[in-house]
A = this chain, B = another copy of it.
């Protein structure tokens, strides 16, 4: 079984859309038991704050339904004065996005930054 963290620290809608599509392709290729965490921090947190563009929301909803975990960085939330009510209800808050990316790799997860 494969495990991968995907790094998103960019808010541009086209970039975000690409990363979500890459994530969908990854799952399709490696199978539904693959563990994937989409880890957002800095500007990348935009994908987890409402309202997003409708197309992105649809893509994200599909990934969450397929078992992808959406992680948001608490440091970023604090810097932007965001509270849990500002964040996607299915998002998981991690203390630090970059630390989570490092920790997961030390546990054997692969890293992708599209």
Q: Hey, which bits of chain A sit against chain B, CB under 8 A?
A: 2-4, 7, 9, 18, 22-23, 25-26, 28-30, 41-42, 75, 95-96, 98-99, 101-103, 105-106, 108, 110-114
A77 and B18 alpha carbons, distance in the complex (Å): 16
**Contact for A111 among B42, B99, B105, CB less than 8 A:** B105
- Copies of this polypeptide in the complex: 3
Contact B96 A29 (CB under 8 A): yes
Chain A contact residues: helix, strand, loop or mixed: helix
Contact A99 B42 (CB under 8 A): no
Contacts of A4 in B (CB 8 A): 102
Minimal beta-carbon separation of A97 from chain B (angstroms): 8
Residue among A22, A28, A98 with the highest chain B CB neighbour number at 10 A: A98
A25-B75 contact, Cβ under 8 Å, with A42-B18, A99-B30, A114-B98: yes
Minimal beta-carbon separation of A102 from chain B (angstroms): 4
